[in-house]
Structure 1
């Protein structure tokens, strides 16, 4: 068996917003989103629960929506949390005091990310450092436990997957590319317990 790292996006947030937002209101929304757990009645897909139960370790971001999602995947199990798996800060957008729907903010963030990718912009140094440290931690856990399932967030997962790829890991499966509860599985292609570069 090759060592595996499974990166899972959390379930749907309990924080719901309606109405239009300017930049200050958008930041308040972000703060409330980070403080909220997951939506009442939210349940992970059964196949993902099986995957989590089979993992040698389950870890999560220390934000409430990720912790709550991990607890649903492996009820009663010990779950280590880390700020290394926490969502990245959103880019500053040139919308100023314009009041627009939340969907417009999401679209602007997505377009900014695409623009950066097209220009081959490197992530900020702090982002690269966080992803590198998270990758090293998960690789070490996978070497010890055979497999690790990490409940994290949409944007950091992208950067973390690239950091793992830079260290020789390859993606072998991805479900629901950006959906809640989606899972990306990466493997180092070597038997469990073999050393991996960090």
Structure 2
């Protein structure tokens, strides 16, 4: 039996789909004052209000995020501050809301009431206690559970980027950092780093 020679189109190799970039960005500035001193119980209440609050009025997203959103699949967490950030950046583009991107918890240690500091200081203290000692209350996410969630988030973002899509995540500072560390372990490289401030993010590309 005579075999038919492959056509030119059949003989050409199929080029692999280039993986898209992943940008992890923090939300805008929330409308909740930090110019106060709090006990540990006071900070616990403050953080609860922070979690359900929106953005401070009058903010404009930076051009770099708006431009990134113009050619990206956009994900955001279910927290109001992330939702409002995504809407401001997307300018009507489709959005994908997913609770997998919510911030890791910040339960403060039970310090005596004479110890009063501002929310920023409490955030550092609480994050250290949560990370170093896995300090969390009943029903709150543990450090190891958050690590699992970060791996799941990285799985989802990698799968979407593997289709050739650029991906923009509008979420929260520390959990974005956890996802970024997971991407780095998988061979992604941070090619643009604007830090962890409001409206700032980091871009990851596959090596």
Deviation, structure 1 residue 108: 2.5
Unmatched 5+ residue regions in structure 1?
117-122, 190-198
User: What are the residue-to-residue correspondences of 1:36-115 with 2, within 5 Å?
Assistant: 36-55=53-72, 57-93=73-109, 95-97=111-113, 98-109=115-126
SS at match of 1:37: coil
Deviation, structure 1 residue 13: 0.4
Deviation, structure 1 residue 99: 2.7
Higher-Rg member (1/2): 2
User: What TM-score, normalized by structure 1, do the two folds share?
Assistant: 0.82
Paired residue for 1:13, among 27, 30, 47? 30
Greater strand proportion? 1
Query: Is 1:134 aligned to 2:134, yes or no?
Result: no
CA distance in 2, matches of 1:114, 1:135: 20
RMSD between aligned alpha carbons? 2.2
Name the structure 2 match of 1:185. 203
SS at match of 2:30: coil
CA distance in 1, matches of 2:107, 2:89: 31
Which is further off, 107-116 or 62-71? 107-116
Say if 2:43 and 2:108, in contact at 8 Å, map to a contact too: no
Q: Deviations over 1:41-72 (max 9, x none)?
A: 111111221111121x0110111101110111
CA distance in 1, matches of 2:127, 2:51: 19
User: What TM-score, normalized by structure 2, do the two folds share?
Assistant: 0.79
Name the structure 2 match of 1:119. none
Name the structure 1 match of 2:174. 155
CA distance in 1, matches of 2:156, 2:120: 34
CA distance in 2, matches of 1:110, 1:136: 25
How many equivalent residue pairs? 181
CA distance in 1, matches of 2:132, 2:148: 22
